[in-house]
Amino acid sequence: MKSYLFVSKIRIQTALAYRFNVISTILIQCLIMYAMSCFWAAAYSGAETVSGVSQRDMITYTTISVIMGNLLTMGVQNRIARSVRTGSVALDLLKPVNIYGIYLAEDLGDCAAAFFQKAIPLLLAGTVLFGFPMPASAVHLLLFLFSFAIGYLINWILAALLGLCAFKTLTLGPLVNAKGFIMKLLSGSIFPLWFFPAGFRRVLEALPFMNIYQLPLGIYIGQYTMDDIMLRTALQLFWCAALWVLFDVLQKKMAAAILIQGG
């Protein structure tokens, strides 16, 4: 356990050393946040609520969504692809540790660094631009944090599943970007699912993606009743467990096929 914590610590340390990257990201993210709020203002065009959500809540939704986006960046897929292509996966496998544990620790370290470097500045910027994005209540805030954590794991496992492909194909190429784009769209990070037509929405609710953004965000702004939250969180936990089992099975299968390039 100590070794995984130390890996996270090193990652935080390394990430904090790169400042320029941070400043440019924050500026761009602020711009996106502002553009989205303009979009919602135009879309609402004076209406009190749309689908039971006020414009104020929608701006909170957007602000928190942008912040979440900075915390949910997953390195694992590219990490695996790069290690396989260069053969450095050999060095990971030579250690008496679970390599996926190490990859998760690295991503969590990056996430922690992003919390201080990006999430907090963006929260401040959002507060200056639109006022503080208030959660529906303190209970909702706690439930949001829990839901976000499970969403993080689901997002990570999905990225790791994609990464496993690299053991076979050696590269992921455009797959990473394609996956990122699809996820953004289907997870409710830009447009909440309640704005989609009923049929399409039902399909999206049956997929795991909405558990990453839509569910925690919906909880945050108080869009769901308590009963609803319990049910959906149970479903979210189920998805997390199911994906984990799938990942574990595939990862064991893949272990036999790992080739070490170079040498």
Non-local CB neighbours of 68 within 8 Å, separated by 6+ positions: 148, 189, 213, 216, 217
Please give the residues from 203 up to 262 whose contact with other proteins meets the rule CB under 8 A.
Answer: 255-260, 262
CA distance 229 to 14: 38
* 257 scored as a contact of ligand ATP (CB under 6 A): no
With CB cut-offs between 5 and 8 Å by kind, which of Mg ion, ligand ATP, other proteins, none does residue 261 bind? ligand ATP
What is the DSSP secondary structure assignment for residue 118, as one 8-state letter? I
Q: Where are the alpha helices (DSSP H) in 72-187?
A: 76-86, 89-93, 99-114, 120-130, 138-169, 175-186
- Token pair in block for residue 86: 């260069």
> Applying CB under 6 A, what is the total number of residues that bind ligand ATP?
3
* 256 scored as a contact of ligand ATP (CB under 6 A): no
- Smallest CA-to-CA distance from 4 within 153, 105, 81 is with 105
Question: Where does this chain touch other proteins (CB under 8 A) — which range of 44-52, 86-94, 180-188, 237-245?
Answer: 86-94
* 86 scored as a contact of ligand ATP (CB under 6 A): no
Q: What is the DSSP string of 58-86?
A: HHHHHHHHHHHHHH----HHHHHHHHHHH
Q: Do 78 and 176 touch, CB atoms closer than 8 A?
A: yes
In terms of CB distance, is 57 or 106 closer to other proteins?
A: 106
Question: Where does this chain touch ligand ATP (CB under 6 A) — which range of 13-21, 101-109, 131-139, 255-263?
Answer: 255-263
With CB cut-offs between 5 and 8 Å by kind, which of Mg ion, other proteins, ligand ATP, none does residue 7 bind? other proteins
Could you list the residues that contact ligand ATP (CB under 6 A)?
A: 259, 261, 263
Could you list the residues that contact other proteins (CB under 8 A)?
A: 2-3, 6-7, 10, 14, 87-91, 93-98, 255-260, 262-263
